[in-house]
Structure formats: C-alpha cells, structure tokens
Amino acid sequence: MVQYDFDRIIDRSGTDSSKHTFDAAKGKTPDMIPLWVADMDFKAPDEVIQRMKDRCEHGIFGYTRVGEGYIRAVQGWFEKRFDWKVPEEWMVRTPGVVYAVNAAIQVLTQEGDAVLIQSPVYHPFNNCIVASKRRTVRNPLVYDGKRYTIDFEDFEKKIVEEKVKLFVLCSPHNPVGRVWTREELTRMGEICLKHHVFVISDEIHCDFVFSGHRHIPFASICESFARNSITCTAPSKTFNLAGLQTSNIFIPDETVREQIKACKSAQHCGEPTIFGLVACQAAYECGEEWLEQLLAYLETSAEKVSAYFAQNLPQIHVVKPEGTYLLWLDCRGLPIPPEQVDAFMLEKAKVWFNDGGMFGTEGIGFERMNMGSPWSVLEQACARIVDAAKKL
Ligand SMILES: Cc1ncc(COP(=O)(O)O)c(C=O)c1O
C-alpha cells in the first residue's frame, strides 16, 4: 500500500496560487505563513495526476461530453461513502459550488425575498444573497464555549416572522466544524417543509469527517427532504482540485432542476473542462485510500494544534472540529480587543488566517485556520503566535 507523505513541503511559489500570492498593497507580505483560503498544500492522489498526464499526452482537447464512466464514478462514491444512491437524472454540473448556490438563489427566490443562513458561516452565502438583492436572515449558531448547536426555536421563529423562502445549509459547517447529526438535520428539514422553505444543502466538506461522526446527506433522510432540496457537492475540497472548477449538484425535483439548467444555459455555462472531468472521475474511482490517510493526518494535526495552544497559550481555544479541514480558534481570551485579533495575527505573529468576523459578527475575535498544510508549517505558525502573544 502506498504511504502518502503529507509532511512534505511543496513549494507553490510561481504557480499563481491564490493562497500564496502575497499582496503588499493589501497588507500581505511573503514573511507571513498563509493558512487562509480553503485549499490544501498537499498533492492530489497519484492516480489523479497520472490520468491527467495521460489525457494531456493525447494532445487533443476538443469539445468533450460527460461520459458514462464519470457518472458511474460520482454515483459510486456517494453510494459507497454515504450509502446514498443518486440517480443520473438528478445530476447537474456547475463550475463551482458557489455558482450553484447563486443560481439557486436566482431561480428560487425573487428580489426582496428572505434567505436564511446560520452564522457564523461561509461568507459567499451572504454575498450571493446581497448581490441578488435578496434579504439575509440569520439564525446564529449557539456557542457554549466548546461546541456550536442550533437554536431551533429561533430557526422557526425567523422563518415565520421574516417569511423566509430559502435556507442555505452548510453541512458540515464551515467555519465552526460541526457535522450535523441525523436528528438535527431532520428537525431543520421538518421545519422547512412545514413552512415551505426550500433547502440548498452545501455539502462540499462532506468527505472531511473525523472519528465518531458521520456525514448524513440531507436529501438521503427521506424523499420529501430530497424533493425539497438541492445538494451541492464537489471533489474540489476532498482531493484538492479547486482550480479545476468541477462540481456535481444533485437536484431531485424536476422543475427545480430544469430551472437551474435554464439558468446555466442563459449564461452559456457548459460542462466542466476535460481536466475537471478526468480528475473528478479518477479521484472518485481511485482516491479513497489517499483520503483515508489524509483524514488520519488532519485529525492528528487538529489534536496537535489544540494541545499546542492548551499548553502554551490557553487564551486561544481551538473548537474541536468534527469535520472540515478548517480550525476555528476562539481568540477572545487574548489581551487585545476582539476586532484587533486578525491584525495581531498578520502584523505581529505573521500568520495569515481568515478573520472570523468575515463569517458574521458572531465570528469577531475568532480566526479560521486552514490546517491543510504539513504539520511543520502549522507548528511554526502556532509558535509564532505564542511568541507574539508574549509581547502583548
Ligand atoms: C462551504 C463551502 N462552499 C463552497 C466553497 C467553494 O466552492 P467552489 O470553489 O466550488 O465555488 C467553499 C470553499 O471554501 C466552502 O467552504
């Protein structure tokens, strides 16, 4: 069995990587360790790279259809990993999950309609809602100092009072790292059905789930949830393929599916690129062992980061992740105003995280740390923060 080496540092300079492009005008300089945008500093599985090379060697990159093999690979993955059968006719491909979330907002709501999110949450949800002139309604998650849960009373109250039409669910949740249980999903799904709220379930992080937890696809719970939702998936986070812009969206309801397809057509949005298709198929066919090893590596990294702060700087608390490769750091114990935590990380510690406040006001004083890097890099970042904190 191949042992993958996630400790290896791979130089990404000169590749125009978003994560590693430092822009001094925006206050980002090369002496900072970049642990922000959600891609990983690990190579994709060997089989994915090999199949892309083989396809490249062929040398003809003409118009290409989605083949039978691609469809079977996607279906096979969801059946094997989540015991969920996805009929071929449900599938629509988009150049990214945010594209799909945005398209769904366009076709399922009208200007001025209310769309519900659970803050702090992945910020493009709010951006899409605002850019489409819809109204963002928030059901803030409840933090007890250790773990986040849902305030179901508030969830239903907001839906009724604000006349919510659409709910964008983040499952597993970025940035707080919750993997929603069947009970939680069922309760949300039932409330949505009762009040005719359609659900967009963004499950892009579904493959990152740690010991003791299980990802349940929202639409797999029952047929009525399936018909009342669309599920957004992609191999992009899982296998580090974000630059290939290939997502698989599952839309059980025929009318909604046709609306989303029409939205795509109106924008002349075709199928993914050859390399997106080749990589996705290869990853779902051959990437499972790589993923299992990666999950073990990430889980250990999360434990080590948590232990590092607990030992050296307990003013920073790492919220234990149940899933995703994003760590949510509660930095409100530091002797600085919560609004200044991100500037401290950048300017004093020289570590580039995502400022928690960008995910909603509930995230102020928190930082999102992308742990998809070799442990030595994460350790260096932690050490810099501890050193900088000593000078406060
Ligand atoms: C919850 C969530 N949805 C969507 C995306 C991005 O999806 P895409 O690049 O496919 O648009 C991310 C990336 O971090 C994410 O965390």
pLDDT computed for residue 250 by the predictor? 98
Q: Is 103 in the pocket of ligand 1 (CB under 6 A)?
A: no
Q: Per residue in 251-308, pLDDT tens? A: 999 999 999 999 999 999 999 999 999 999 999 999 999 999 999 999 999 999 999 9
The confidence band for 374, taking pLDDT boundaries of 50, 70 and 90, is very high
* Ligand 1 atom nearest residue 234's Cα: 10
CATH code 3.40.640.10 region(s) in the chain: 60-286
The protein residue whose alpha carbon is closest to atom 10 in ligand 1 is 96
pLDDT computed for residue 2 by the predictor? 84
Q: Is 281 in the pocket of ligand 1 (CB under 6 A)?
A: no
Instruction: Give, for 386, the enclosing helix (H) or strand (E).
Output: helix 375-390
* Ligand 1 atom nearest residue 170's Cα: 1
| Spatial separation of the C-alpha atoms in residues 146 and 148, rounded to whole Å | 7
pLDDT computed for residue 137 by the predictor? 98
pLDDT computed for residue 371 by the predictor? 98
Q: Per residue in 214-248, pLDDT tens? A: 999 999 999 999 999 999 999 999 999 999 999 99
Q: Is the pTM of this model over 0.95?
A: yes
Residue from 123, 127, 237 whose mutation best tests the ligand 1 pocket (most atoms within 8 A of CB): 237
Q: Per residue in 320-369, pLDDT tens? A: 999 999 999 999 999 999 999 999 999 999 999 999 999 999 999 999 99
Using the predicted structure, report yes or no on whether residue 388 has a pLDDT greater than 90.
yes
Instruction: Give, for 49, the enclosing helix (H) or strand (E).
Output: helix 46-58
Distance 168 CA to ligand 1 centre (A): 13
Q: Per residue in 136-175, pLDDT tens? A: 999 999 999 999 999 999 999 999 999 999 999 999 999 9
pLDDT computed for residue 1 by the predictor? 78
Q: What is the mean pLDDT of residues 53-62?
A: 98
Distances (CA, A) of 354 to 123, 164, 364: 11, 29, 11
The β-bridge partners of 229 are 199
Beta strands in the chain (DSSP E): 33-34, 91-94, 114-117, 135-138, 142-143, 148-149, 164-170, 198-202, 229-233, 247-250, 317-319, 326-330, 351-352, 354-355, 366-370
Q: Is 329 in the pocket of ligand 1 (CB under 6 A)?
A: no
CATH code 3.90.1150.10 region(s) in the chain: 24-45+289-387
Distance 212 CA to ligand 1 centre (A): 24
Domain 24-45+289-387 CATH (choose: 3.40.50.1820, 3.40.630.30, 3.10.20.30, 3.90.1150.10): 3.90.1150.10
Distance 391 CA to ligand 1 centre (A): 36
Q: Is 185 in the pocket of ligand 1 (CB under 6 A)?
A: no
> What is the number of other CB atoms lying within 10 angstroms of the CB of residue 36?
20
Closest CA to 369 of 135, 27, 148, 38: 38
Q: Is 170 in the pocket of ligand 1 (CB under 6 A)?
A: yes
Distance 372 CA to ligand 1 centre (A): 15
The β-bridge partners of 323 are 209
Q: Is 116 in the pocket of ligand 1 (CB under 6 A)?
A: no
Q: Per residue in 86-132, pLDDT tens? A: 999 999 999 999 999 999 999 999 999 999 999 999 999 999 999 99
Domain 60-286 -> CATH class: alpha beta
Q: Is 204 in the pocket of ligand 1 (CB under 6 A)?
A: yes
| Spatial separation of the C-alpha atoms in residues 65 and 145, rounded to whole Å | 50
Coil vs helix vs strand at 373: coil
| Spatial separation of the C-alpha atoms in residues 281 and 270, rounded to whole Å | 18
